[in-house]
């Protein structure tokens, strides 16, 4: 496959209790198989945008708060290929998958600071706190390996 990877950033947001925020995508049915509509906040990089700036923008857009403290970041980029059967549809057919720079944050505010309804077209319809070790079970299959790596990489923050 000759398509490039879409540059992307992602955030693992921790509560003070060491739990991780996962959110349900609005573009997947609520009864998706294996509850695979849940994911971590993530989004594409704008041209010439630094990952450290992009992740803060994405968090504001997706979970409605910037009341966060940076805990760490993965050294390098993680990536995944999307399934062949959706390559022509996902990401407008421009990408084969994503390469992602991941960051860990601590929520400094309260749960009430998390607002999914601030954008005209919200990406998420619900959110909850889960154990970091369970993170891979919330991921859709083709993202699962990335979530396994994140659970290992950010274990010290749980």
Where do the structural domains in the chain lie, given as residue ranges? 5-157
* Predicted TM-score of the model (pTM): 0.92
Sign (positive or negative) of CA dihedral 82, 88, 91, 95: positive
Of 109, 91, 64, 76, whose CA–CA distance to 1 is shortest? 91
Q: Domain 5-157 - what CATH class?
A: alpha beta
**Over its length of 158 residues, how does the chain's per-residue pLDDT go in tens digits?**
688 999 999 999 999 999 999 999 887 655 544 456 899 999 999 999 999 999 999 999 999 999 999 999 999 999 999 887 777 666 667 888 899 999 999 999 999 999 999 999 999 999 999 999 999 999 888 999 999 999 999 999 99
Of 94, 95, 106, whose CA–CA distance to 154 is shortest? 106
Of 9, 8, 18, whose CA–CA distance to 107 is shortest? 18
């Amino acid at each position: 496959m000759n398509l490039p990877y879409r540059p992307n950033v992602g955030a693992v947001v921790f509560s003070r209790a060491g739990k991780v925020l996962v959110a349900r995508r609005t573009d997947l049915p609520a009864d998706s198989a294996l509850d695979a509509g849940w994911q971590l906040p993530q989004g594409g990089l704008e041209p010439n945008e630094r990952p450290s700036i992009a992740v803060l923008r994405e968090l504001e857009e997706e979970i409605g708060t910037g009341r966060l403290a940076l805990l760490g970041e993965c050294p390098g980029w993680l990536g995944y290929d999307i399934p062949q059967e959706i390559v022509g549809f996902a990401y407008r057919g421009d990408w084969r998958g994503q390469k992602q720079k991941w960051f860990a944050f601590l929520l400094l505010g309260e749960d009430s600071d998390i607002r999914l309804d601030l954008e005209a077209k919200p990406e998420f319809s619900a959110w909850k706190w889960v154990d970091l070790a369970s993170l891979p079970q919330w991921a859709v299959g083709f993202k699962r390996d990335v979530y396994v790596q994140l659970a290992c990489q950010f274990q010290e923050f749980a």
